[in-house]
Structure 1
Amino acid sequence: MLATGAVLAVTVGCSAQVVTDPAGGADDKAGTGSGVRIEPAGPASSSPSAKPAAASKPPVTPSAQPSKSATRKPAPPKPEPKTVMASGSEGDQVRELQARLRQIAHFNRAPTGYYGSVTADAVTSFQAKRGLPLTGTTDTVTWERLLGMTKKPTAAELRPPAVEKPAPKPDPRCMTGRVMCISKTSRSLSWMIDGKVMSTMDVRFGSQYTPTREGTFKVGWKSRHHVSTLYDTPMPYAMFFSGGQAVHYSADFAARGYSGASHGCVNVRDEKKLSSLFDQVRTGDKVVVHW
Structure 2
Amino acid sequence: MFKSRATRPFVVLLVLALAAAAAAVGATPAPAATAKATPIKLWFTGGEQFSVVDRTIQTLSTTALPTVNALLRGPTTQEKARNIATQIPDGVKVVRLTIDGKAAVIELSPAFLKGVPPAAADRTAAQEITLNARLGQVIYTLTQFKEITSAKVLSDGHLLSLQSPKTQTKTAAGTLGRKDFTKPSTPPATVGSGPATPAPAPAPAPAATARQLQQRLADLGYLPADAVDGKAGYRTTQAVMAFQAWQGLDRDGVAGPLTRQKLQQASRPKPGGRGPSRRIEVYRAKGVALLISSGKVVRAIHVSSGGPATPTPTGSYKVFRKELRSWSVPFSVYLPYASYFNNGIAFHEYADVPAFPASHGCVRVPAPEAPGVYAFASNGTTVVVI
Work out which structure has the larger RCO, using CA pairs closer than 8 Å and 6 or more positions apart in sequence: 2
TM range (shorter): 0.3 to 0.5
**Structure 1 or 2: more helix by fraction:** 2
Q: TM-score, normalised by structure 2?
A: 0.33
TM-score by length of 1: 0.43
Which structure has the bigger radius of gyration?
Answer: 1
